[in-house]
Amino acid sequence: MEKIIFHIDVNSAFLSWEAVYRLHILGETTDLREIPSAVGGDIKKRHGIILAKSTPAKKYGVRTGDTINDALKLCPQLVLVPPHYDLYETSSKAFMEILKEFSPCVEQYSVDEAYCDMTGTIGLYGSAVVAANLIKDRIYDELGFTVNVGISSNKLLAKMASDFKKPNLVHTLFPEEMEKKLWRLPVEELFYVGHATKKKLHALGINTIGELARTDLNILRAHFKKYGEVIYAFANGVDVSLVASETPANKGYGNSTTIAFDVDEEGAAKMILLSLSETVCTRLRADSVMATVVAVSIVDFEFHHASHQMTLFSATNTTNEIHKAACRLFDELWDGLPVRKLGIHTSKVVKGDSIRQLNLFDMNRYERLSKLDVAVDNIRERYGENSIMRAIFLNNRIYHMAGGITPEKRKPNYKEGIK
């Protein structure tokens, strides 16, 4: 039986979810999807980029990832609204729940897209296109936003199909349709081909996906090595990956934060590292795992990037131990230039019940710290992350759990939009 794979992608997800919320919950009358608008980060905190834009904004040349200043130059009348991550999580969950009613095998690829293995279930609906339209219309009727559905025999072609004309449409892209629907497209529209690869391919005289598919594989190997084999396979519609309904375990945990001010004091930098350690270790403990390697990354005020890592004596998930390692790495790495961004990353993760290397000088400190961290996690889970914090963060402009999604982004103040 031929595989039938759907790729379902929410159209301008963040903006669509925000538009639906404002129309149906806040009672606004203007639909953000119908005017030049965008969801943007916070300029004051240096997160000033476009996260999602409307179709009218796209016509002005506004692109996801543009700085807010650049977007406003292209479209001075652009309506900007702040991100609302609690809403995105809720909308994504509702979106996934509908998909699971249509297929027993759903792989969430990101917050706003998923794959469904519909093999064996198509007979319930008559055809793949009928089933896809049922999913699309059900999502719109119940949740108020639109999706595109791509249909094929593998994940790659299904994803490529869902990127065809938008919004609110169903497209097929089976192997026999590739020459007509896929090969005529510019090579940069192929999944996995970025700007740098596009330039190299153009230099070789390869401008379309079809030309890439017909290129001698040895030429691609010579210029791109293993990566050349990947893009050659993709151009020919070859993809052997399966829809996986179970999420693979994390191989590493990390977090970073762009700081609202240039940090030129060691004490302030180490406080930020402590706040990052809080969030990273909370996630490690939530998944009952420990990290063996810790790394620190720094971006200075001139956007120079540097990183350094170390292997711990024993795997750990305690905040104090990760912070201590991070501070040591920072001392070895920092050259004194003002810091714009800091990050902590962990790797070589082991299960939490793994045997811990005994340390003669530990004096049972790990056991005490571990119990303290668990107690703090329980309090925060029950009463919110701000219910308990270290005294050093009281009345401090440094938030005690940095990185990730801050409270104001989860529940924005709608009276104080960006513009």
Q: Give the active site residues.
A: 113
Dist. CA 296–CA 346, nearest whole Å: 9
Distance CA 274, CA 393 (A): 10
Nearest to 132 by CA among 107, 90, 161, 111: 161
251's tokens: 């191989």
Phi-psi region for residue 334, left (φ > 0), alpha (ψ -120 to 50) or beta?
beta
What does residue 91 show for φ and ψ, rounded to 5 degrees? -65, -40
Rounded Cα–Cα distance for residues 131 and 293 (Å): 47
Tokens (6 digits) for 272: 């930020």
| Distance (Å, whole) CA 227 – CA 245 | 27
Taking residue 363's Cβ as centre, other Cβ atoms within 10 Å add up to: 9
The helix (run of H) or strand (run of E) holding residue 157 is helix 155-162
